[in-house]
């Protein structure tokens, strides 16, 4: 518990641990607990607010729908993270577009009206405006 000079409680938290606690280990356990929650909150924030539409009540289905949709969302997040770390074209588009959510909106808009031969054609079009996408076949 952290208190202000006037005695008011500024911060209070509790951790459950099987580690033996003493003067030397309490700061380490506290830091580990805070890092865990920081990581968890940041990941959940991305999945909820950056275009993945993962909400608390996400995917309430009859049997396995919720688990299937959650798995697909987590796989998408994994692939986007790998692309962010390893793919130059993806990094350029994200830098050019700004936000992950905006990137997703661009993909939805483009693929709703235009047909691309491949993922690479879509990426090239987003980066350079070429090669020209094929007109979508409306029949």
Neighbours of 26 (CB within 10 A): 13
Do 93 and 125 form a contact (C-beta atoms < 8 A)?
no
Picking from 106, 112, 109, 102, the residue whose alpha carbon sits closest to that of residue 50 is 102
**pLDDT band with cut points at 50, 70 and 90 for residue 59:** low
Please tell me the predicted confidence (pLDDT) of residue 139: 44
What pLDDT was estimated at residue 55?
Answer: 67
Reported pTM: 0.53
pLDDT in tens, 68-90: 777 888 898 889 889 989 999 88
pLDDT at 62: 64
Asked if the model's pLDDT at residue 92 lies above 80, the reply is yes
Distance CA 104, CA 45 (A): 17
pLDDT at 138 over 50: no
pLDDT of residue 1: 60
Helix intervals (H) in the chain: 25-49, 65-86, 88-97, 100-113, 119-128
């Amino acid at each position: 518990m952290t208190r202000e000079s006037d005695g008011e409680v500024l911060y209070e938290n509790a951790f459950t641990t099987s580690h033996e606690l003493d003067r030397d280990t309490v700061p380490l356990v506290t830091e580990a607990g805070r890092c865990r929650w920081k990581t968890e909150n940041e990941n959940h924030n991305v999945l909820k607010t950056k275009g993945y539409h993962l909400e608390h009540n996400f995917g309430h289905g009859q049997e396995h729908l919720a688990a299937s949709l959650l798995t697909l969302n987590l796989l998408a997040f994994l692939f986007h993270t790998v692309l962010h770390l390893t793919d130059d074209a993806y990094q350029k588009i994200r830098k050019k577009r700004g936000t992950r959510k905006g990137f997703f909106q661009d993909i939805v808009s483009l693929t709703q009206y235009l047909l691309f031969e491949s993922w690479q054609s879509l990426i090239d079009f987003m980066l350079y405006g070429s090669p020209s996408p094929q007109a979508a076949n409306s029949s």
